[in-house]
Amino acid sequence: MKKICFYFQIHQPFRLKRYRFFNIGKDHYYYDDYSNESILQQIADKSFLPANRMFLDLVNLYKGRFKIAFSISGVALDQLEIYAPEVIDGLMELSKTGNVEFLAETYAHSLSCLGDPIEFQRQVKQHAEKIKLLFDQKPTVFRNTELIYSDEISELVYKMGYKKMITEGAKQVLGWKSPNYVYHSVTQPNMKLLLRNSGLTENITFRFSDYTWHDYPLTAEKFISWIAATPPEEEIINLFMNYETFGNLQPSYTGIFEFMKALPRFAFENNIEFATPSEILDEYKPVGPISVPDPISWSDEERDLSAWLGNTLQRSAFNTLCGISERVRLCEDRRLKQDWLYLQTSDHFYYMSTKHFSKGEPYTRFSPYPSPYDAFNNYMNVLSDFIARVKAQYPDTVQNEELGSLLTIIRNQEKKIKKLEAELKSIREANVEKFVKKEKEEVE
């Protein structure tokens, strides 16, 4: 029996305000609150809220037969809590149905897996704790930022306790193989992998409203017929896409919501069911390994990292960011730690991409900057101020080992002070009791 596995990504970055060179050392708040709030609320109204209602109705209508999964970055959750908490309320309702799964990823939607394994592990743990707190689920399936994957990354993820992961069914990796099976990592056989069927997915996300597409218009009946026509032995169809497909990337007037509402009915009529990533990975055995020596992603035709680290500007900014990581981890300043997370978001590096700038698409559609060079200059000004704040607490003249030793001493002193304060409080309370008792005796 064929099964459709839907997974939806929800992510929005904390966009940076215009930060000039002259702001360095004077202004330590980096974010464009107006843009962040207005963009998120607009997307919530057009996409997230109506999509939440639609999927809740579908889950209830089909009494548990319809199932989906979400991967929501920590930075998106932070913004939703501030600007659109009703979206989180809707996701909580979906979680309570028992038919919606939440996946693990990096909290900051970062590229830390490529340059900072320790930070990568910390963010995955932090994200899992956030998902547990909000949706009362412990994620068991890992989905990396932009579906970035390699053999080395699979090892890192496996060491964190995950044995299930999803990534892109890239042609340069699969060759003649189909993405419609469960595979496993070539270096870690116990790591099961689900691969995105990019062709079928992008028929919805990119081509649904394209009048020039030879298969336009796309109807639910036609889409399900394509799935039904795949070879019988190919039982798993993984449709991984941005949640903004519904209402934002594909506006409501295109009929995208009606398409989605009709899809389960035609699927069930063709004996096609729905399942979450963990259900599929629990039920099916891998048919073989896939080898990915160089990282892949779900972006562009190349399915590589060039959208984020493809030019000198991007690599310079990323290396500078990674260079300060050890000192940031030593600090306890809550504001620094928060800024550290938000500055790691992959979007900042995507805005510096020169791949599509001459064409204007998709760069100008998503970037708040007039050019990749403006994005680089703005980000580096912010990063310069951030690094200065870190070094003000932990100067270059002090080595990391010395800092670690000093912090240990400081923390031990803090514990000792707290212990002495508790003892002093206990003595004071005892003295008060003795005084009150003596007063009572004198009165009597």
**DSSP element (H, E) containing 238:** strand 236-242
Give DSSP secondary structure letters for 34-95. Answer: HHHHHHHHHHIIIIIHHHHHHHHHHHHHTTT---EEEEE-HHHHHHHHHH-HHHHHHHHHHH
* 344, two tokens: 């790691």
* 329, two tokens: 């981890």
Q: How many other CB atoms are found less than 10 A from the CB of residue 59?
A: 22
* 316, two tokens: 């310079």
Alpha carbon separation from 156 to 121, 126, 309, 319, 367 (Å, rounded)? 8, 16, 21, 20, 31
Burial 164-198 (b: 16+ CB within 10 A, else e): bbbbbbbeebeeeeebbbbbbbebbeebbbbbbbb
Cβ-contact 83, 257 below 8 angstroms: no
* 146 included as an active-site residue: yes
Cβ-contact 47, 246 below 8 angstroms: yes
3-state secondary structure of 25: coil
> Inter-axis angle of helices 151-159 and 117-135, to 10 degrees?
60
Contacts of 175 (CB under 8 A, 6+ apart): none
Burial 407-431 (b: 16+ CB within 10 A, else e): eeeeeeeeeeeeeeeeeeeeeeeee
3-state secondary structure of 145: helix
Which member of 119, 146, 235, 244 is catalytic?
146
Beta bridge partners of 164: 192
Cβ-contact 351, 375 below 8 angstroms: yes
Give the Cα separation of 225 and 214 in Å (integer). 16
Contacts of 298 (CB under 8 A, 6+ apart): 146, 147, 167, 168, 196, 198, 240
Q: How many helices (H) and strands (E) does the chain have?
A: 19, 12
Point out the residues that are catalytic. Answer: 146
